[in-house]
Structure 1
Amino acid sequence: MPNHYLKGAVAYPEEFAQKYREKGYWIGQNLSEFLHVSAEKFPNNIAIYCGDQTISYQQLNIAVDACATRLSKYGLQAGDQAVVQLPNHHAFYIVFFALIRLGILPIMSLSAHRFSEVNSFFKQTQACAYFCADFGAQKFDYRALARQCQDANPSLKHIFILGDAAEFESISALYDFDTQPPDKYVASQASSADQVAFLQLSGGSTGIPKLIPRTHDDYLYSVRESAKICELNQTSRLLMVLPVAHNFSMSSAGALGIFYVGGAVVLGTDPSPETSFALIRKYQVTDACLVPALVHPWIEKAARDQDDILSTLHCLQVGGARLADVVATRLIDEFKVSLQQVFGMAEGLVNYTRFDMNKAQIIYTQGLKISEDDEILVLDDEDRPVAQGAIGHLLTRGPYTIRGYYQAEEHNARSFTQDGFYRTGDLVRILDDGCIVVEGRSKEQINRGGEKIATEEVEQALITHPQVKLVALVAMPDELLGEKSCAFVSWQTQHDDPSEIRRSLMLRQYLKDYGLAQYKIPDSIQFIEHFPYTAFGKIDKKTLIKQL
């Protein structure tokens, strides 16, 4: 381990690092150089569409240089850390690359995070800077949040605001797109490629997000390979309506994959189909990425308007959670979508369905791993390998999967094996063709009197009912059995709908006819109009459980 490796982060063992270099996975390029290369190769290509503003690669690189130079005048320097909580705006990419160029570690907060999460990031890292907007959704005032964090964290010295800065510094004053002589810009102080570049956030469903140290080498390897798998090129235009800081949005293949090939990111602040479809038409978008919760409103509007817009896309990626088989089928058959399923995690491992796969593979699996050196184990509760095709716990290690969370020694002892395999918490099975099928999360498995219920299986069955729009199965406590199951259902209403009691009986009979074992049929079914979501766009099952 290099003696300057980030304290509190776990480095790759040298024998693995050497192997990944020898195989050409790690090429010794940092993220600052990555942007420089794209700016030199594609200077006049449009990199970002943001509202009415277009930014070329040359302009983006100039703005990053200007931003890094002006930030350095505030005393920010290599080794510092900064929380970045910016919306879908071009300023996010400028600030991110400027911090990288200065050797400062960005901590990738999401707009939905509030004091509990953001304050924890400052406590864990002693970050000295905070970048955020003035207002967010429902007029949430991030400047008030900044004041709270500043009062609670003496380390926080610099606050930069996108929009009305009030008493703080303005982000828009940090950069412009005018070329300056090279000696006017601060020299790059970016860390070397084998060092930690930034801290991403875990997307788990429990507690405060853990911090994930990603190196330049490992992250850019996944970006380059993802761009190839996703068949991106200079003509690609990726609609970005998911949070820009999310790992899916950044690297699968995401904005960085687009920047690698010289394509364009089309930024949208509203994922509604009305806004998104308008952006697709205006900018001739070729690719889009969604989480499953956003797919339903998109296809319902397309069906209602008899709009073939989804068929015009080169690819619609769906990731972040398992896409229901029936929805995948509908996308392909009814809407003629070129669908790509993505199963990955901010900790590393990413799987994609490929464009040359058959229809069954694209609908019913989450595809193949990126690298031949993505090592995958599927184990039972006693850490023994399961039979081929059986469901088990997914463990992995590889050239872009971390070896430990940041400053989390106790948690790392539980989440990583002694030989470096990461316990993902996912329940999966591996088919004979190598494709992975996600069956749920181990912590979401319901133990009903000793009978194990995989929530994913029941949810997949329920969503096939023509009037079920969205569903989530959770555990509820029971004195006799320990746990019972409760299904929360969003129902497509019709004028002649029966009562909720009769609906529940109908759904139970539907599941029986579907072929589910009796113990897997939900003990309770509750109908709700709107589901709660986590900051990562997943259904918030913890909030649902509180409603029981």
Structure 2
Amino acid sequence: MTIEFTRWPQQRAQAYRDLGYWLDQPLTCILDERCQVQPDALAIICGERRFTYADLDRLSSNLASRLAAHGLGQGDAALVQLPNIAEFHVVLFALLKAGIVPLNALFSHRRLELGAYVKQLSPKLLIASREHEVFRDDGYETLFEQATARPQIALLLGDARTEHSLAHWIETPGSEQAPYAPTAADEVALFQLSGGSTGTPKLIPRTHNDYHYNARACAEVCALTAQTRFLCAVPAAHNFLLSSPGALGVFHAGGCVIMADNPEPLACFALIEQHGVNTVALVPSAVALWLQAAPPHREQLQSLRYLQVGGAVFADSLARQVPTVLGCQLQQVFGMAEGLINYTRLDDSDEQVFTSQGRPVSPGDEIKIVDEQGTEVPDGQAGMLATRGPYTFCGYYKSPEQNAQAFDAQGYYYSGDLVQRLPSGDLRVVGRIKDQVNRGGEKIASEEIENLIVLHPAVTHAGLVAMPDEALGEKSCAFVVTRDPTLKAPALRRHLVELGIAEYKLPDRIRLIPSMPLTAVGKIDKKRLRQLLAVDTNRTWLKTRLLQLIEDGETLDPEENLIFYGLDSLQVMRLAAELKERGVAVSFEELASAPTLANWWALVESRQKAA
């Protein structure tokens, strides 16, 4: 029995084999090869614990054999949710060895997300941690109410009961040495999670052939070797940290992965110094924190050579600081769990590295950049990205409607990204057409949050849009129409928390509005919501800026002439110039003719609507 998925067309599949992209070997060959060449080399450092490649092989074999003895194997699925610890990789290799297909949920996912995955997969195996709030007691069993069957086995890190103790199953060989084997190389090895724009989480089937090539190609572009010391500080389940090149790329090269709980700068700086870390992968929001914290701690970063940054667009201004502030080489990454990975190269010019997101890692990657009519656009012009290739999937799991929208007749996948192709061949990401928020690398589907907000009995409409943020790139703003005038933002956030969503999905700002703007066909007018958001942002900025300029800001009356607060003509000229820089075209004369905060707010709003 095998997992259902959309296969590559036979002609393309054969071409990938002929070109050496697909080796027809299971992902477990990565560990097998290391154990043959360097079994005693360090594979993982996790706190005070050290794991050689031989240890990783032995422990994962223990678990694989025990699972096989309990009747689990090829064609079965597992839901796995573990933090950044060595057991994450032990479990991964154990499941791959046994032919059990894992879905690795992020540790930040809560009851709502986990329940959706269970409903889609009906996993026969659950592996999680008692540290997670969902699994602190056995109430987690309600997750499986909508599944076709409950899991046959539940293994929990930190559980004292032998039959449920993940540590016991890993560390103790089973009394029965049951045979086990991976699924075939052209079958599903694992599921990744899509950061799509719909309310239902979509599952991405990745085969041994395509995922193995993904890791190998990225490891080659990133020049990983047996001397690589890679810090895993972003969630290990992310495609970025698992195979781009991630841990699998490091294991393929014979290097060592150092596990960190999270990307908090000072803790990571200590790990870099202690273990001679030379490579780290981060999302832009984490890099911003590192750049702030690094100057007094530069001596701890002496071993660091490469910083890979992906998950969201990285601002040029921050990119240019990396070599001088962190003392290492920047490598930008633009990739997706669905497949296509782009990297700037280690010998690229500074301008390429600072201002682009690189080019595909494989000569087999095919890319089209098209307009709304599907016509390819010239280099330098922005368009929709479409791609296919030896490690880009061919369809979401059991999602015919989404697949019909995401793929064209030639099998190209439309990622929802708006990109430009530069003369160098590098891609620059300039936006997206998907309705989602990219909050520091975590993708939030607007539709999902909107559908949850309107479950509140007092809410009639909800619309979620992205707003710019210097630290995270984007944050979320929810516009809400309610029939209860006393409803406040904290009550809506409490409502979402009680539904069990991940914390990063909670709206950063909630704006209550009297009615929801709609398009001609009755859909929420997101363009108008973004205009309202821009007005709000500029109103807040304008008041904050005035408070910096005038002496008696604490008692600022919106209707009072600002001249009486000490504002002078030069300051008004400066404000007019600053508003123009923010995209609000107003003149000094317009501001000076009616110098009250209320009038200026109205002027800003009218210009924002006209834009």
- Alignment TM class, shorter chain as reference: 0.7 to 0.9
| Change in CA separation of 1:96 and 1:43 when aligned onto 2, cut-off 3 Å | same
1:356 to 2:358 alignment? no
Is the contact made by 1:115 and 1:148 (CA closer than 8 Å) also made in structure 2? no
One-letter amino acid of the counterpart of residue 251, structure 2: F
1:180-223 C-alpha deviation (Å, 9 max, x unpaired): 9xx97443421111111111111235423210000000011010
- Name which of structure 1's ranges 473-482 and 348-357 shifts more when overlaid on structure 2: 473-482
1:497-525 C-alpha deviation (Å, 9 max, x unpaired): 5679999x9898447348x6859xxxxxx
Correspondent of 1:419 among 400, 410, 415: 410
1:406 to 2:400 alignment? no
Name the residue aligned to 1:75. 71
For structure 2, list consecutive stretches of 5 or more residues without a partner in the other structure.
Answer: 438-464, 480-515, 519-524, 559-566, 587-611
| Change in CA separation of 1:507 and 1:174 when aligned onto 2, cut-off 3 Å | farther
| Change in CA separation of 1:145 and 1:167 when aligned onto 2, cut-off 3 Å | farther
Deviation at 1:414, TM superposition (A): 0.4
CA distance in 2, matches of 1:219, 1:507: 53
Correspondent of 1:116 among 112, 116, 119: 112
Matches within 5 A, 1:113-512: 113-136=109-132, 141-144=135-138, 146-153=140-147, 154-165=149-160, 169-176=164-171, 185-303=177-295, 305=296, 307-310=298-301, 312-443=303-434, 469-472=471-474, 482-485=528-531, 486=533, 497=548, 509-510=577-578, 512=580
CA distance in 2, matches of 1:349, 1:209: 20
CA distance in 2, matches of 1:349, 1:203: 14
Matches within 5 A, 1:526-541: none
Name the residue aligned to 2:36. 40
CA distance in 2, matches of 1:325, 1:20: 36
Deviation at 1:119, TM superposition (A): 1.3
Is the contact made by 2:69 and 2:176 (CA closer than 8 Å) also made in structure 1? no
Name the residue aligned to 1:522. none
| Change in CA separation of 1:471 and 1:350 when aligned onto 2, cut-off 3 Å | closer
Deviation at 1:307, TM superposition (A): 2.5
CA distance in 2, matches of 1:215, 1:241: 26
Is the contact made by 1:128 and 1:156 (CA closer than 8 Å) also made in structure 2? yes
Name the residue aligned to 1:528. none
1:62 to 2:64 alignment? no
1:6 to 2:7 alignment? no
Is the contact made by 1:366 and 1:435 (CA closer than 8 Å) also made in structure 2? yes
Is the contact made by 1:85 and 1:132 (CA closer than 8 Å) also made in structure 2? yes
Deviation at 1:308, TM superposition (A): 4.8
CA distance in 1, matches of 2:137, 2:92: 20
Is the contact made by 1:130 and 1:158 (CA closer than 8 Å) also made in structure 2? yes
Deviation at 1:334, TM superposition (A): 3.6
CA distance in 1, matches of 2:162, 2:211: 36
Aligned length: 490
Is the contact made by 1:65 and 1:186 (CA closer than 8 Å) also made in structure 2? no
Q: Secondary structure at the match of 2:123?
A: coil
CA distance in 2, matches of 1:74, 1:281: 44
For structure 1, list consecutive stretches of 5 or more residues without a partner in the other structure.
Answer: 447-454, 520-548
Is the contact made by 1:478 and 1:484 (CA closer than 8 Å) also made in structure 2? no
Name the residue aligned to 1:532. none
Is the contact made by 1:162 and 1:172 (CA closer than 8 Å) also made in structure 2? yes
Q: Secondary structure at the match of 2:345?
A: coil
When normalised by structure 1's length, the TM-score is 0.82
1:15 to 2:7 alignment? no
Seq. identity, %: 37
1:225-266 C-alpha deviation (Å, 9 max, x unpaired): 111111111111111111111111100110001100111100
Larger radius of gyration: 2
| Change in CA separation of 1:140 and 1:474 when aligned onto 2, cut-off 3 Å | closer
RMSD of aligned Cα (Å):
3.3
Deviation at 1:339, TM superposition (A): 0.6
Correspondent of 1:92 among 85, 88, 92: 88
Name the residue aligned to 1:534. none
| Change in CA separation of 1:145 and 1:354 when aligned onto 2, cut-off 3 Å | farther
